[in-house]
Amino acid sequence: MWLELTPRWMQEISKYNTHRMRLRKKNAALMIIDMQNEFLEEDGTVFFHYATEVVSNVQRILRVCRQNRIPVIFTAHVHENPDVDGGMTAEWWPQIKMRKSLIKGTKGAEICRALKPRKGEPIIWKHRYSAFYNTDLETILRGLKVTDLIITGVLTNVCCESTARDAFFRDFRVFFIADATATSEPDFHVATLKNLAYAFAYIATTDEIIKQIVTK
């Protein structure tokens, strides 16, 4: 269902998605945000069914990026002691506050097997929605001379959007992939795509971004 709606969503945001950009492959990086077991497995305490539908597209982009030597960076939202590192995030999500979800070192907090990071691919362990907040993500990106960020993962309107906005504030060119991101409700997804297209990112599809990567 999720992927089938993508053409309609792209049409709906088209009047805002006017800042069309061409990916600078030599200065690009792929971000795979929070594709963790807790979100993707049915027994997870914060399972989101729609997230499972975009795994295949994230896999496709991941495969092409690896083949073309585009750096891949994973993020994982985790907490070690929510009383100490949880803050408002733990207040907002009771399952975190009660130490039932996203606790570092547990199976649920791990990145799903279908997207398993390879040796040398950084994992940003974060405690807040944005992957830039109190992490070394920007240092890594600057060291890799990255200017262009391809954003995939979950949740569209939470960690993905927060990261995309923070990337824009830091002058990165953001490519947000409409059918390789997902959240709990289609309305949330479309609202984020509109907001980002209006002021923060170029919204692309999986097919489009792959074509930009493989085209010389």
Please give the domain boundaries of the chain with CATH numbers for all domains: 14-214 (3.40.50.850)
Residue 44: predicted pLDDT: 85
pLDDT below 50 — which residues of the chain?
A: none
Q: Sign of dihedral through CA atoms 145, 148, 153, 155? A: positive
DSSP annotation of 5: G
Q: pLDDT per residue over 114-134, tens digit each?
A: 999 999 999 999 999 999 999
Whether the Cβ atoms of residue 19 and residue 59 lie closer than 8 Å to each other: no
pTM: 0.97
